[in-house]
């Protein structure tokens, strides 16, 4: 599933995330995806088919004049986005939307944030006001702190603007876990067992992000299972520090799927 289709699918399910990390080498295509996602977040069309590109909010977005899209640009003479800029940016976050039900904050060169800036942004990513949504764009995934990445739903652009295989796998794994379906889990997990270290660790981050998204949208038992999956991905990260293989990690998660408690 490509990134545009994935955004639309989340909109249909009323599960659009409040925090997005959009990654890719093509800056123009990244901006296009970001504005599409922003329209989906601001769209006021009834039902879930968003963006409609016909409501007042979509039309203003297409014209580039929507007051509830706020962009943070790196200073042209600066190498980094600094903690001072993020602190000023955070003040804007607490100002309620002008027209739409949501307010979207776009950072086109988010991978230029230094560590202090990312830690400052993390505070509003963790506990944002209910109307706020964040779009972080970047070319270098390694520039982002794991804590920032874990709070965001990640979409990556390929050569044809396709979501990566591990992103789809994470969504399938999360769905299987929520349903308590070991067979579906194993079908989704099998191709992931051969991933290299970087790709598998990225898959774990995607899985945590998918779990967080479902916890935010869910209620009752579904929310509890999503929160538990997110907690278990933390345990997997600890296992990876001592080089536990992808197959063993995925097998352990499958074993934990229908356990009452996540044991050692």
Note the pLDDT of residue 217. 66
Cβ-count burial of 202 within 10 angstroms (0-12 exposed, 13-18 middle, 19+ buried)? buried
Assigned CATH for 1-163: 3.40.50.300
pTM of structure = 0.62
What residue ranges of the chain have pLDDT lower than 50? 159-167, 261-264
Note the pLDDT of residue 192. 87
Domains of the chain, residue spans: 1-163, 164-264
């Amino acid at each position: 599933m490509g990134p545009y289709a994935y955004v639309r699918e989340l909109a249909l399910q009323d599960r659009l995330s409040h925090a997005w990390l959009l990654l890719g080498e093509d800056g123009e295509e990244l901006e296009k995806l970001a504005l599409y996602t922003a329209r989906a977040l601001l769209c006021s069309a009834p039902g879930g088919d968003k963006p409609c590109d016909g409501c007042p909010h979509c039309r203003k977005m297409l014209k580039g004049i929507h007051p509830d899209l706020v962009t943070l640009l790196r200073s042209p003479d600066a190498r980094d986005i600094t903690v001072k800029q993020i602190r000023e940016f955070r003040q804007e976050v607490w100002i309620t939307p002008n027209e739409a039900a949501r307010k979207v904050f776009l950072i086109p060169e988010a991978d230029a944030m230094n560590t202090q800036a990312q830690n400052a942004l993390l505070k509003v990513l963790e506990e944002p006001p209910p109307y706020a949504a964040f779009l972080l764009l970047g070319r270098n995934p390694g520039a982002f702190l794991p804590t920032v990445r874990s709070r965001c739903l990640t979409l990556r652009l390929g050569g044809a603007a396709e979501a990566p295989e591990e992103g789809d796998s994470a969504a399938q794994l999360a769905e299987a876990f929520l349903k308590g379906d070991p067979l579906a889990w194993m079908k989704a997990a099998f191709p992931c067992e051969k991933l290299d270290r970087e790709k598998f660790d990225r898959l774990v981050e995607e899985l945590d992000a998918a779990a967080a998204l479902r916890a935010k949208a869910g209620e009752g038992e579904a929310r509890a299972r999503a929160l538990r999956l997110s907690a278990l991905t933390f345990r997997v990260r600890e296992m990876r520090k001592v080089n536990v293989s992808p197959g063993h990690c995925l097998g352990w998660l499958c074993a934990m799927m229908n356990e009452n408690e996540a044991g050692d």
